[in-house]
Structure 1
Amino acid sequence: MSYTWLNPATTKKVPLSPAALDEWYSDLTDKKNPPSDPDSLHFGAAYLLRVIMPSLYQLQTEWMRSQFLDDRSFDRPLNGLLSDAAHKYWESPDGKLIVTSIFNKLMLKWVPVLFIYSDGTTVDHYEYHFLILIKSIVREAQEKKIDITDEIFAMVVDFSIPQCQGLPKAFMQFFLAQVDDIWTADELNAAVSGLLKGCEYYYQKAVTCLSHISSVIPPGEKSDFFRKCKNLLTVGEEEFFQTVADIRRKWPLNCMTQMTSALSAKLPSTKNAEEAMHATIYRGVGKGHTLFDGLDGLLATEKYYHQQFEAKQLMAPIAYQPDGLTT
């Protein structure tokens, strides 16, 4: 799939490549005081808005990008990225708002780092989303002089084909395009396979769905199937592979994990925090937006989190707890 972006200065489509992305970033102007007129040729550049055909719009401010790789190491499972689509934000029934969030240690909450309007949730849509996400992370790592390792791209996804295939395709497309990258396609594919962690909630839904297919799981074997699948969430690595072997031997299923247990323990077990992010956006700026109205809402959402971040930097409270304590 080839991508293009609409250069707001020339209104011409340009192929999306690493070189084109570099040109786009270097050509951004007037980011501090963006024009309010949506018809302005510089509206897209000012708001870090890229128009990709067909019908893909990316919105990411400098502050959002700066949240990558900022004190990422946590003792609790709050590392990594969460990505999911909100289905009620846009007026169009085909419109989806794909959001990626990261946990901010200073604010002690998840914050958005990338917004995309998409006219669908196919593999191609998610491939573009993840391609821009990877590009943003790499650029931030370069600016902060942080080593680019596989782990900085680790994320929690559901079990949908678009998400599970979109990230590997974007990962390979980006790194194979780098002239100084020494890894082969097979090596990159093996690496990215270990960066995806399935959401536990969607895993349980998938298990329930499979158990209802009697041609796959006979009715008399349901309880045994549920027990073995549930054990996969808690057992150690050695017992995990033994249980997987039992499942494969007894039922015609392909189950595996390629993420290391150490990395998995650093990431959340579900995407509940991303669902909560969608709810926060709905409460703050509403649902059913037209395109430009919705983009204004996303800018307001960014402003909300950005101002909270600046308040915490000044050690000002941003939330009040029932016991009177502030955070």
Structure 2
Amino acid sequence: MAEIMNTRGQHISSTFFPRRKHAFRPSSGPIRRLITGVPTFEGPGESVAEISDVLLNVDRVSKEQAKLKHGIGESSDNFLESFAKFEEEHPDFIILSRLGKYTVISTQTAFMCSQLVNGPLNGMVSDAAHGFWKDRKALLMVSSTYSPVLHCWVPGVVSYTNGASTNHFAAHFLAVLQSITREAEGRNISIMDFSEAERSGFINGFIQFWTMRVNNTRTAEELAEAAKAILCGCEEHFRAAVTRVSRINGAVGPNKVEAFKTRALGLLSVASGDEFDKQANLIIQDFPKLKPWMEWWMRPSHATMLFSSQRLMEEHVVESMPNTTNAEEAMHWRFYSATGRDHSFMHGMNSLYKIAMDFERQFDAVNKGIPIRYRQPEAWKVIAAEIGRTKPTCAEKPNEKKRKKNDGRPPDTIKELLNKSTN
């Protein structure tokens, strides 16, 4: 498509975003409004047709809008030029860059690194977000640590990955470990959403990191065992998995759902390895169709990350860390609310830098005594301590307090007829 020039010889890409009071935005509404007059707070503004007569064609306006909305030139030479310019404008922000089949680009500011190195021993929470990039195969991998100054979790390393394989996560965690070299052995503890690729990626990244160091004396096998000892799985995701399979009536009878959930969740706190194996095998015996699911959780590579009787991690370290990745999932929401979703690559990279700067500004403001909120920070902790849950409006036992809909028919559903044990 040829470039459109207005009467002043300017390209359409510059005149679609004029430096004036009523700037056009790609999401300004139906196409016809753009031709009539771009919507503003004071009513219709300038018409895009003032740029060029060709923009009287509603289909042409639609195509030009799509080009601006979804990004122009994020390919070939224009992309390389934009990426080089980004690195020049933000030196040291990109701490790892691997292009190819397994593309991983990791970012971090000096402030983010300081939080990983100087923060308290609360470990790191790592998880991947699927909605940040426009490319649905791409992920935003974030490893965060808790800041007692801001009373929230802050990003330590943020990576773009073009997939979710072990190699992708290995590169991300290698960037994490390299950025906190001096603290890696004593304080590098990572909690991850339960993903085989992420677990393997962390172990591979850990091995790569120490193998590259001249003072390393451990073999790859010894490093792998050391990595396993500083991994902890997400308890909340196990609970969600239990709930999910309990709804499969062919595997768990409706009258056995609560018993199954109690027994499965009880595995989290059994006292010994022998008792764990005994209880897990009894679950398989009583619910044979769940055998593949239960055996997956019983694998040593998975069980050691989650169940207290199987853990390799020291107990005092476990107690200092959160047992879920909810903090990281809340971090994803914070990213989305700050800059939106479905970013093209360069737009997303600029957004990540702005987010990093936002955290740093808040940190500096608190240290200067400038309030960044009027309400009490982390009020949910007080609520949880008082009533045992973070949402006062939620019923403690929802099923007991849920109003039963009565449409005049007798009980005729599986849930109504079989959910309670019969005499």
Q: Give 5+ residue unaligned stretches, structure 2.
A: 1-80, 285-290, 305-310, 380-423
Q: State how far apart, in whole Å, the 2-side matches of 1:228 and 1:185 are.
A: 37
Q: For the Cα contact (< 8 Å) 2:119–2:146, is it kept in 1? A: no
Task: Confirm whether residue 161 of structure 1 aligns to residue 204 of structure 2.
Answer: no
1:53 paired with 2:99, answer: yes
> 1:116 is matched with which residue?
159
TM-score normalised according to structure 2 size = 0.58
Contact in 2 for aligned 1:84/1:98 (Cα 8 Å): yes
Q: Which residue does 1:65 correspond to in 2?
A: 113
Counterpart CA distance in 2 for 1:46 and 1:123 is 28
Kept in 2: contact 1:232–1:240 (CA 8 A): no
Give, as a single letter, the amino acid of the residue that structure 1 aligns with 2:185: T
- Decide which of 149, 161, 170 is 2:185's aligned counterpart: 149
Partner of 1:92: 135
Identity of aligned residues (%): 28
Take 1:223 and 1:183, find their aligned partners in 2: how far apart are those partners?
47
In structure 2, distance between residues paired with 1:286 and 1:68:
26
For the 8 Å contact 1:37–1:43, the answer to whether it is kept is: no
> Does residue 305 in structure 1 map to residue 359 in structure 2?
yes
The residue identity in structure 2 corresponding to 1:292 is M
Unaligned runs of 5+ in 1: 1-35, 74-78
Q: Give 1:245 deviation, angstroms.
A: 2.0
Provide the TM-score with structure 1 as the length reference.
0.74
What amino acid maps onto 1:318 in structure 2? I
Give the deviation of 1:57 after TM superposition: 1.6
Residue 142 of structure 2 aligns to which amino acid in structure 1? V
Change in 2 beyond 3 A, CA 1:242/1:214: farther
Q: Distance in 2 between matches of 1:134 and 1:268?
A: 20
Partner of 1:3: none
Q: Map 1:227-306; keep pairs closer than 5 Å.
A: 227-235=262-270, 239-250=271-282, 251=284, 253=295, 254=298, 256-257=303-304, 258=311, 259-306=313-360
> How far apart in 2 are the matches of 1:176 and 1:294?
33
Q: Distance in 2 between the 1:44 and 1:170 partners?
A: 29
Q: 1:44 to 1:127 in 2, by over 3 A?
A: farther
Mapped partners of 1:127, 1:179: distance in 2:
20
Tell me if 1:40 matches 2:81.
Answer: no
Does the C-alpha gap of structure 1 residues 167 and 302 become closer, same or farther in structure 2, counting only changes over 3 Å? same
Aligned position for 1:102? 145
1:171, distance to aligned residue in structure 2 (A): 0.8
Letter in 2 for 1:207: V
Could you say what secondary structure the match of 1:68 adopts? Answer: helix
Name the counterpart of 2:232: 197
Alignment RMSD: 2.8
Letter of the structure 1 residue corresponding to residue 276 of structure 2: V
Q: Deviations over 1:39-72 (max 9, x none)?
A: 4385286152243122322211111111113141
Cross-structure match for 2:46: none
Higher RCO, 1 vs 2 (CA within 8 Å, ≥6 residues apart): 1
Matches of 1:247 and 1:170 in 2, distance apart?
A: 34
Matched, 1:129 2:164: no
**Which of 174, 177, 183 pairs up with 2:212?**
177
- Residue 110 of structure 2 aligns to which amino acid in structure 1? E
SS in 1 for 2:116: coil
In 2: Cα distance, 1:278 partner to 1:71 partner: 21
Moved more, 310-319 or 37-46: 37-46
Deviations 1:68-116 (Å, cap 9, x if unpaired)?
131414xxxxx11011111111111222111111101211111111111
CA apart distance, 1:288? 1.2
Q: Which residues in structure 2 correspond to 1:203-242 (within 5 Å)?
A: 203-211=238-246, 219=253, 223-235=258-270, 239-242=271-274
Asked if 1 retains the 8 angstrom alpha-carbon contact of 2:129 and 2:139, the reply is yes
Contact map agreement 1:95 1:120 (CA 8 A) in 2:
yes
Deviation at 1:38, TM superposition (A): 4.7
How far residue 127 of structure 1 moved from its aligned partner, in angstroms, is: 0.7
More helix by share: 2
- Give me the whole-angstrom Cα distance separating, in 2, the residues matched to 1:242 and 1:316: 55
The alignment of Structure 1 onto Structure 2 pairs a total of residues equal to 272
Report the Cα offset of residue 234 of structure 1.
Answer: 4.2
TM-aligned CA distance change 1:232 to 1:297, over 3 Å: same
Per-residue displacement from partner, 1:150-174 (whole Å, max 9, x unpaired)? 5x22111122111111111111122
Structure ID, larger Rg = 2
C-alpha contact (below 8 Å) 1:155/1:267 kept by paired residues: no
